[in-house]
């Protein structure tokens, strides 16, 4: 794993040196924009519309548009100085219960490992949090981006999840066309709850796969091997008007054979383990090699590293 941040966790007077690693990776299949006429990949040019010339990186600075067409400019040193104040420290402010945080706040997860001679302090914090059942709410700055974070224990590792500030969460009152709170049909409600019971099962992440990525990989393999591509027409979905009939049909579809409709079903245990297929090839958008062998399915690294985020 690539180290994306180095610093320390501090709570009270305890100082725990740590290194940070991204816990997730983006497995989207990268594609390039191609000129259809000649097959060449297109490049992005930083061009000034006034000077009508390409601008080099050393001639670029950052600015904030406070009015239409009016900017205040900042030097890199000014922004770096603001970030330096909190860039090397994860300060735990409070310890809370994980259940008190709504999932809407969570952004991205990182793993933390001890750095230098911090193994003992790291282990102490991990064990104390595990036995207390609490998570730490902290402040952190990663590459000039300040964020709240939740520090918690995953197996025998400390993890940190960046979370949104409260003013970054849009209020539900802004959501248009929400239905008014009214009484629902009691029979429909009972059947909906029965359907939920029949579909309930222990969470098994291995059974969920990215179907779109699988189909795209199959299409890529077919094109690389020179096969003729035929796209099946999409099935037309019908609008179900009768809600009661839809609920009844759904229950019948998942009801075990020989089950009494009046008997409350037991939650299903998940037994299927489906290994997720990995991307076979990374589409670079460059010139294709028609004699290339059929790409193997193997893990591909995310085109964008955390250093670009």
Domains (range + CATH), the chain = 3-28+79-168 (2.40.290.10), 186-228+246-300 (no CATH)
| Mean pLDDT along residues 156-176 | 91
- Pairing state of beta strands 89-96 and 3-11? parallel
Question: What's the mean pLDDT in 66-75?
Answer: 89
Is pLDDT larger for residue 243 or for residue 122? 122
Q: Percent of the chain beyond pLDDT 70? A: 76
Q: 139 and 86 in contact (C-beta within 8 Å)?
A: yes
Look at residue 47 in the predicted model and tell me its pLDDT.
87
Q: How confident is the model at residue 269 (pLDDT cuts 50, 70, 90)?
A: low
Q: According to the model, what pLDDT value does residue 263 have? A: 54
Between these two residues, 137 and 297, which has the higher pLDDT value? 137
Mean pLDDT of 13-18: 85
- pLDDT (average), residues 59-82: 86
Q: Are 156 and 126 in contact (CB under 8 A)?
A: yes
Residue 301 scores a pLDDT above 90? no
What's the rounded mean pLDDT across residues 22-26? 84
86-132, pLDDT tens digit by residue?
567 888 999 999 999 999 999 999 999 998 888 999 999 999 999 99
Q: How would residue 159 be classed by pLDDT, with cut points 50, 70 and 90?
A: very high
| Between 278 and 17, residue with greater pLDDT | 17
pLDDT of residue 30: 84
Interval 136-144 mean pLDDT: 84
Highest mean pLDDT among 61-65, 204-208, 283-287: 61-65
Of the listed ranges 84-93, 192-201, 218-227, 231-240, the least confidently predicted one is: 231-240
- Residues 14/125, Cβ–Cβ less than 8 Å: yes
More confident residue, 13 or 229: 13
Torsion of CA 288, 290, 291, 295, to 10 degrees: 60
48: β partners: 53
Q: Which residues pair with 114 in a beta bridge?
A: 18
Place of tokens 């009016």: 70
- pLDDT confidence tier of residue 306, bands split at 50, 70 and 90: very low
Comparing C-alpha atoms, which of 158, 105, 157, 153 is closest to residue 131? 153
Token pair for 263 = 């008997």
Distance CA 209, CA 212 (A): 9
Least confident piece of the model among 14-28, 104-118, 204-218, 259-273: 259-273
CA distances (Å), 6 to each of 25, 114, 115, 136, 309, in order? 19, 10, 8, 18, 16
- Average pLDDT of the residues of the chain: 78
Task: Determine if the pTM surpasses 0.85.
Answer: no
Q: What is the mean pLDDT of residues 133-148?
A: 86
């Amino acid at each position: 794993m690539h180290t994306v941040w180095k610093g320390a966790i501090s709570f009270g007077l305890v100082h725990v040196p740590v290194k940070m690693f991204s816990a997730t990776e983006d497995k989207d299949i990268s594609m390039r924009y191609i000129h259809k006429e000649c097959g060449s990949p297109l490049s992005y040019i930083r061009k000034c519309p006034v000077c009508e010339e390409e601008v080099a990186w050393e001639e670029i600075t950052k600015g904030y548009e406070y009015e239409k067409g009016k900017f205040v400019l900042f030097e890199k040193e000014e922004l770096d100085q603001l970030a330096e104040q909190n860039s090397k420290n994860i300060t735990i402010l409070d310890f809370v219960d994980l259940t008190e945080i709504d999932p809407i706040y969570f952004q991205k997860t990182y793993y933390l490992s001890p750095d230098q001679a911090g193994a003992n302090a790291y282990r102490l914090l991990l064990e104390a949090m595990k036995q207390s059942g609490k998570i730490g709410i902290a402040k952190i700055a990663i590459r000039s981006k300040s964020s709240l974070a939740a520090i918690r224990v995953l197996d025998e590792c400390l993890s940190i999840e960046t979370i949104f500030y409260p003013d970054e969460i849009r209020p539900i009152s802004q959501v248009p066309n929400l239905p008014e709170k009214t009484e629902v049909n009691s029979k429909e409600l009972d059947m909906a709850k029965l359907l939920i019971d029949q579909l309930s099962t222990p969470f098994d992440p291995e059974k969920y796969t990215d179907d779109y990525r699988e189909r795209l990989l199959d299409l890529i393999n077919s094109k690389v091997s020179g096969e003729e591509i035929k796209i099946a027409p999409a099935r037309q979905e019908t609008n179900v008007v009768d809600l009661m009939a839809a609920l009844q049909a759904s229950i019948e579809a998942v009801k075990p054979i020989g089950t009494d409709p009046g008997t409350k079903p037991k939650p299903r245990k998940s037994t299927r383990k489906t290994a997720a297929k990995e991307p076979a090839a990374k589409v670079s958008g460059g010139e294709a090699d028609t004699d290339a062998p059929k790409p193997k399915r193997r893990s591909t690294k995310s085109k964008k590293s955390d250093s670009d985020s």
